[in-house]
Structure 1
Amino acid sequence: MTTEFDLGALLAERGAERYELHTKYLNPQLPRMLHTIGFDKVYERAEGAHFFDADGNDYLDMLAGFGVMGLGRHHPVVRRALHDVLDADLADLTRFDCQPLPGLLAERLLTHSPHLDRVFFGNSGTEAVETALKFARYATGRPRILYCEHAFHGLTTGALSVNGETGFRDGFAPLLPDTAVPLGDLDALARELGKGDVAALIVEPIQGKGVHEAPPGYLRAAQELLHRHKALLIADEVQTGLGRTGDFYAYQREDGVEPDLVCVAKALSGGYVPVGATLGRDWIFKKVYSSMDRVLVHSASFGANAQAMAAGLAVLSVMENEQIVAGVRATGELLKSRLTALIDEYELLADVRGRGLMIGIEFGRPSSLKLRSRWTMLQAARKGLFAQMVVVPLLQRHRILTQVSGDHLEVIKLIPPLVLDEADVDRFLGAFTAVMDDAHSGGGLMWDFGRTLIKQAVANR
């Protein structure tokens, strides 16, 4: 006799064990880290840009699952599309037919980059990058990929080869032949291209780590250099794409930029089903898939599955119907301008940068002696501790989830759901100014927590 699987009953029975289960069977450092900084919350449900705990407390999400939740959580249109595709009982993933949904999503996606012609669907941003690297090497017949210092393009071996941080790369060599160039340095790019073995440059128009934007004119000038040397431009829009920066793609802010390959993922999923897409020029795809013998030379077992395609189509429909990109421009400008106005008020606040709803808040060395001595103490223990001191009270006292924008960085990155509204902006600003007031008072719980972080940092050396 078989018993029907009851997910609700399982969660009711075992859900309270979540942290113990993770400690025992998954990455043991995650629950340890969450406990150390007081992030070991228990969230029961979510809607839009908000989480709720078992007591009904409302938490504002300024992280969007690292950018995955572009439309927030459980958007009704995306949710309905997934129910519909499950109810349709499609003959999905036979691998030897041509289902309509991948073609329809590719067609819809390509309308936003009319200079591109074809799409490969995988399952993540990393897979989208891996696809672009493989296609660029095959299309050009060259081995080497250029990337920008401090870049992040994923953690599988190929994507790791174009990752600009040694902390991610250490111990995983040998990787692909690669070379890092400074973001915005055209002379360094020209020197590498002159060696004649470069397949492509991969670049984030706005780097996720630290939120650093390519200088004005750089992408177009880089594109011209690359094409002169018969190399390709790959735009990694995994985090910046689908409206995040106030344009559908971040590269579109600069006239004349037409990347040869574009990597998309995260928000295309609707937050439900993993999906990645690599968009490219017709000649590149035709060179890779040059004959029937090569029809499966690059493929993915779960790529273009019906649920992922339905989610992507629903996301693009919502973006158009609800004018998401225009909303991001307006809300992003409001948030950034109000944060920028605080720079003159708080000596610990050094910079506010970014576009749309991708904003970096950087902290820096204060001028007053009292705060400077405390800042120096934190920096001596571990760079990035002050930013963590801001992130923790935002959650603990104000129920706002944020993140430090990379290891050893004094930068908080805001990448909230694109449906953030003016009330959410007001709430974040009120909480942020309260935390800054506490930090600048020179005492209180914030600096007490700083001492705890220092002890932890020293212990981990």
Structure 2
Amino acid sequence: MTTDFDLGHLLAERGAERYELHGRYLNHQLPRMLHTIGFDKVYERAEGAYFWDADGDDYLDMLAGFGVMGLGRHHPVVRKALHDVLDAGLADLTRFDCQPLPGLLAEKLLAHSPHLDRVFFGNSGTEAVEAALKFARFVTGKPRVLYCDHAFHGLTTGSLSVNGESGFRDGFTPLLPDTAVPLGDLGALARELKKGDVAALIVEPIQGKGVHEPPPGCLRAAQELLHKHKALLIADEVQTGLGRTGDFYAYQHEDGVEPDLVCVAKALSGGYVPVGATLGKDWIFKKVYSSMDRVLVHSASFGSNAQAMVAGLAVLSVMENEQIVANARATGDLLRSRLAALTDKYELLADVRGRGLMVGIEFGRPDSLKLRSRWTMLQAARKGLFAQMVVVPLLRRHRILTQVSGDHLEVIKLIPPLIIGEREVDRFVDAFTDVMDDAHSGGGLMWDFGKTLIKQAVANR
């Protein structure tokens, strides 16, 4: 049987052009950046927590597609579920019926947050946040949403309005009339609430940028303040949810916290089909969808599609059957303890923090004169260059993919697939130790590469 489209032939014929094609037709700065730091790899296949290149060398993934690959790549259960739903030939997205899969996935999700009642399905984390912002403004009748300094909630206009990093907002203003407060500053929250125009506070229970969490008891106290002023608490669990921090949701680490709206996405997709969800209380949904005339007042063309719904159902099934949350907790504790033990050994290593398999490694100003002068040189060019100096040899010398945790931050964030175990922890810690030994030797390849980063930083000013 012949076909008009042969994927294998297309990739074999044109796959080698990948960087050229991207530079010509997509974001031209991405291949330029990857070439500069030596990240211009050619990955041929992936499975679980690993990639392989054309030479058969394996790469350990400690990034998980920014948290999307919670179960790793190509989990067989999710893969089979998607084959099954395609083979079923369902009457999907008719828009004027009620298919079973969205209801079944909503039921499964809500079982993990029993104080919530209903779900809206979109296609991404930023869409989940957009829905929460709209719902909060509508049901409270108030215009402002508070967010935290250094927060990240997405890049569409509404979610960008509650983005705490100016680099993402520059040039895209004016945005919505929202206001930042310091993470954990209850006094600042109270002062804003007294103005009477606040619809909600949106917060990441653990911030992705820098891996920071509020002080113990802060979320519950914030919730009480918000409710006193008839405002809502929105928990953005797009990255922290579905087991990432060692509980199903990160807000569950603190007793008594029951957000009015919860945003999830990323790992719910199984790494295959984009999906986002906004979970909320019954009264909120009933006020938004208050009549048959308002049945489509908030909707999404591809929301609740069969492939996304079955991917989510398969992910939740795997999480339960393979005890994914417990593994994230135990493996995360092991990884953090192994890394924290190195803080006394390396003066450039300032802190190790996080929960579950969301780990922040922070670097800081060293005490010794020789290292301090080099550190100062990097900081003068651009803050965050030392963390980049660590990320690069982890990939180039040890074949481990990591990321710097936000612009101008001397922090590496580890968010690996939740299926990793002791073997992967050993591999990462051994590689990290080797890189830090090199950094503290006073010479080495790292500082030579640092000169390249300085030149790049200066050129981009």
Give deviations 1:332-365, integer Å, cap 9, x for gaps. 0000000000000000000001000000000000
Aligned counterparts, 1:13-412, within 5 A: 13-412=13-412
Matched residue type, 2:281? R
Matched residue type, 1:141? G
Which stretches in structure 2 are left out of the alignment for 5+ residues?
none
How far apart are the structure 2 equivalents of 1:409 and 1:122? 31
How far apart are the structure 2 equivalents of 1:93 and 1:293? 20
Question: For the aligned residues, what is the CA RMSD?
Answer: 0.6
Task: Note the C-alpha offset of 1:11.
Answer: 0.6
Task: Note the C-alpha offset of 1:215.
Answer: 1.1
How far apart are the structure 2 equivalents of 1:182 and 1:368? 33
Secondary structure of 1:212's partner? coil
How far apart are the structure 1 equivalents of 2:374 and 2:383? 13
How far apart are the structure 1 equivalents of 2:60 and 2:215? 32
Matched residue type, 2:427? R
Task: Note the C-alpha offset of 1:318.
Answer: 0.2
How far apart are the structure 2 equivalents of 1:24 and 1:459? 22
How far apart are the structure 2 equivalents of 1:346 and 1:3? 59
Task: Note the C-alpha offset of 1:174.
Answer: 1.1
Matched residue type, 1:295? V
Secondary structure of 2:96's partner? coil
Task: Note the C-alpha offset of 1:3.
Answer: 5.1
Task: Note the C-alpha offset of 1:433.
Answer: 0.1
How far apart are the structure 2 equivalents of 1:295 and 1:257? 30
Tell me which residue corresponds to 1:416.
416
Which stretches in structure 1 are left out of the alignment for 5+ residues?
none
Matched residue type, 1:210? G
The sequence identity of aligned pairs, in percent, is 89
How far apart are the structure 1 equivalents of 2:435 and 2:299? 49
How far apart are the structure 1 equivalents of 2:319 and 2:147? 31
How far apart are the structure 2 equivalents of 1:369 and 1:17? 47
Task: Note the C-alpha offset of 1:421.
Answer: 1.0
How far apart are the structure 2 equivalents of 1:49 and 1:156? 30
How far apart are the structure 1 equivalents of 2:408 and 2:200? 29
How far apart are the structure 2 equivalents of 1:444 and 1:437? 9
Secondary structure of 2:274's partner? coil
Give deviations 1:55-75, integer Å, cap 9, x for gaps. 110000000000000000000
Matched residue type, 1:105? L
Task: Note the C-alpha offset of 1:394.
Answer: 0.2
Matched residue type, 1:421? G
Task: Note the C-alpha offset of 1:278.
Answer: 0.1
How many residues are paired up? 460
Tell me which residue corresponds to 1:460.
460
Runs of 4+ in structure 1 deviating by more than 3 angstroms, as ranges, are none
Give deviations 1:10-65, integer Å, cap 9, x for gaps. 01110000000000000000000000000000000000000000111000000000
3 and 76 in structure 1: CA distance in 2 versus 1, 3 angstrom threshold: closer
Tell me which residue corresponds to 2:448.
448
Task: Note the C-alpha offset of 1:286.
Answer: 0.2
Secondary structure of 1:119's partner? strand
Task: Note the C-alpha offset of 1:241.
Answer: 0.2
How far apart are the structure 2 equivalents of 1:140 and 1:11? 52
